[in-house]
């Protein structure tokens, strides 16, 4: 899915649509991609002369990749309800393409529990477990 196709299933819009493309995989997981251009709002001041993608933005990219699995579209909205076991292993900088691998591990009612990892090349940059609520609108 490209950005326009993502807009059909995710509620996010620029500048907060933080994945460029995504794929639903046959194994029930999703893969999302984002290429850091260097002019993003979240790099302004983080850090002058040494821009690094903030960890919270990496986690949002991961959640949006997971949102592809839920295909909420215009009928529901997704909300982070918890983040656990977060680890930042490598920095993400302009020019990097981050690949996120996410899967749902459990669902109970409107709550979905997931795990995700983000890579630049083969280097693991971020990993986390998280929960998301899907609320009808």
Reply yes or no on whether 112 is catalytic.
no
Supply the pLDDT for residue 74: 56
Instruction: For residue range 44-73, list pLDDT tens digits in order.
Output: 999 999 999 999 999 999 999 999 988 745
Q: What residues does each domain of the chain span?
A: 3-136
Task: Pick the catalytic residue from 12, 46, 91, 117.
Answer: 46
**Residues 6 or more apart whose Cβ sits within 8 Å of residue 50:** none
Q: Is the whole model's pTM more than 0.85, yes or no?
A: yes
Q: Which pLDDT band, with edges at 50, 70 and 90, does 78 fall under?
A: confident
- Enter the CATH code of domain 3-136: 3.10.129.10
pLDDT (mean) for 104-130: 97
Backbone angles phi, psi at 54, to 5 degrees: -60, 145
Instruction: For residue range 7-18, list pLDDT tens digits in order.
Output: 988 889 999 999
| Alpha carbon 106 to its chain's center | 18
| Alpha carbon 80 to its chain's center | 11
């Amino acid at each position: 899915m490209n950005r326009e196709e993502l807009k059909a299933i995710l509620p996010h819009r620029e500048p907060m649509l933080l994945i460029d493309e995504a794929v639903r995989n046959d194994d029930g997981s999703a893969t999302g991609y984002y290429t850091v251009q260097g002019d993003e709002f979240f790099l302004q001041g983080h850090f002058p002369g040494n821009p690094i993608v903030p960890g919270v933005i990496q986690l949002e990219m991961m959640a949006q990749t997971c949102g592809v699995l839920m295909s909420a579209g215009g009928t529901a909205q997704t909300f982070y309800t918890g983040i656990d076991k977060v680890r930042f292993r490598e920095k993400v900088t302009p020019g990097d393409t981050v690949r996120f691998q996410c899967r749902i591990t459990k669902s109970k009612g409107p709550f979905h529990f997931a795990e995700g990892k983000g890579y630049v090349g083969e280097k693991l940059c971020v990993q986390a477990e998280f929960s998301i609520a899907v609320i009808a609108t």
